[in-house]
């Protein structure tokens, strides 16, 4: 499962550039994880969750049910 893709969709952003600016992660990094299906490093994942208003612990618990 591509978690960054789900977070991107939940953010409501229309472009990857807009999303990258919102979460303060370089656009190229976002693209790498969106298109190459690489696992997102935990520190970036938590940063993205926080930036779009998702509680990381709640997200993790929901995904591991």
pLDDT, averaged in runs of 10, over the chain (65 residues): 83 93 92 78 86 84 76
Task: Kindly list the distances between the CA atom of residue 15 and the CA atoms of 12, 18, 27, 56, 64, in Å, as whole numbers in the listed order.
Answer: 9, 5, 10, 23, 29
Q: Which domains does the chain have, with CATH numbers?
A: 3-63 (1.10.260.40)
Q: What is the pLDDT of residue 64?
A: 73
Q: What is the pLDDT of residue 27?
A: 93
Tokens 């929901």 — which residue?
62
pTM summary value: 0.74
Please, how many CA atoms are within 13 Å of residue 17, restricted to the half-sphere of its CB? Answer: 0
**Alpha-carbon span 62 to 29, nearest angstrom:** 25
Q: Give the distance, in angstroms, between the CA of residue 33 and the centroid of all CA atoms in the same chain.
A: 9
**Alpha-carbon span 8 to 12, nearest angstrom:** 7
């Amino acid at each position: 499962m591509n978690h960054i893709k789900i977070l991107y969709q939940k953010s409501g952003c229309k472009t990857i550039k807009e999303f990258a600016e919102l979460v303060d992660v370089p656009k190229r990094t976002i693209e790498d994880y969106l298109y190459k299906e690489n696992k997102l490093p935990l520190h970036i994942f938590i940063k993205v969750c926080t930036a779009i208003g998702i509680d990381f612990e709640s997200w993790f618990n929901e995904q591991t049910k």
